């Protein structure tokens, strides 16, 4: 299992690289989803963006696998993060909540992929910070969630 962490600016990519360090199976790229996910099997996108572009109906608390039939350069499978209930989405979350959400969202997306495909042995998944909805002014909390996800997945 391999991952690509991407963002639209070099500053964001550098922040990710500095925080996450060198891990086997992890690459860093700058650009759009299409520019950074060209060799990936799947991409993690926020529920709103994923369903808007690739169809389907969001379900609160459920990550989904959508097929990209648009030929837009994004990976063939889109993993949408679980949308939050309205009450949770309408408040400003504290850092521990953001960290937990990012970890849980990535866990859910990976579980949805496994359910759909059956294996993650040779998969490469794009996590584009802005497209996944993980970007914030201070990236510390989202990056802690990503780091914990990688630790649990055995990416050291």
Residue of 50 and 153 predicted with greater confidence: 50
Q: What is the pLDDT of residues 44-89, one digit of tens each?
A: 999 999 999 999 999 999 999 999 999 999 999 999 999 976 444 4
Beta bridge partner(s), residue 6 = 29, 128
SS3 helix, strand, coil % of the chain, rounded to 5?
A: 45, 20, 35
Overall residue count recorded for the chain in this entry: 156
Pairing of strands 2-7, 42-45: unpaired
**pLDDT of 141 above 60:** yes
Q: What is the pLDDT of residues 8-48, one digit of tens each?
A: 999 999 999 999 998 999 999 999 999 999 999 999 999 99
Other CB atoms within 10 Å distance of the CB of residue 11? 11
Closest CA to 81 of 54, 51, 115, 55: 51
């Amino acid at each position: 299992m391999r991952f690509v962490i991407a963002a639209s600016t070099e500053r964001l990519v550098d922040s990710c690289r500095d925080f996450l360090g060198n891990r086997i199976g992890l690459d860093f790229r700058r650009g759009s989803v299409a520019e950074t996910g060209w060799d990936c099997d799947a991409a993690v996108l926020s529920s709103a963006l994923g369903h808007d572009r690739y169809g389907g109906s969001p379900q609160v608390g459920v990550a989904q696998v959508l097929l990209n039939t648009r030929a837009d350069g994004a990976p063939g499978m889109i993993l949408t993060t679980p949308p939050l209930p309205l009450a949770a989405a309408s408040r400003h979350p504290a850092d521990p909540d953001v960290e937990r959400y990012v970890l849980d969202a990535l866990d859910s997306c990976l579980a949805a992929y496994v359910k759909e495909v059956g294996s993650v042995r040779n998969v490469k998944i794009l996590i584009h910070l802005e497209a996944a909805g993980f970007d914030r002014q201070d990236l510390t909390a989202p990056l802690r969630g990503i780091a914990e996800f990688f630790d649990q997945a055995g990416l050291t």
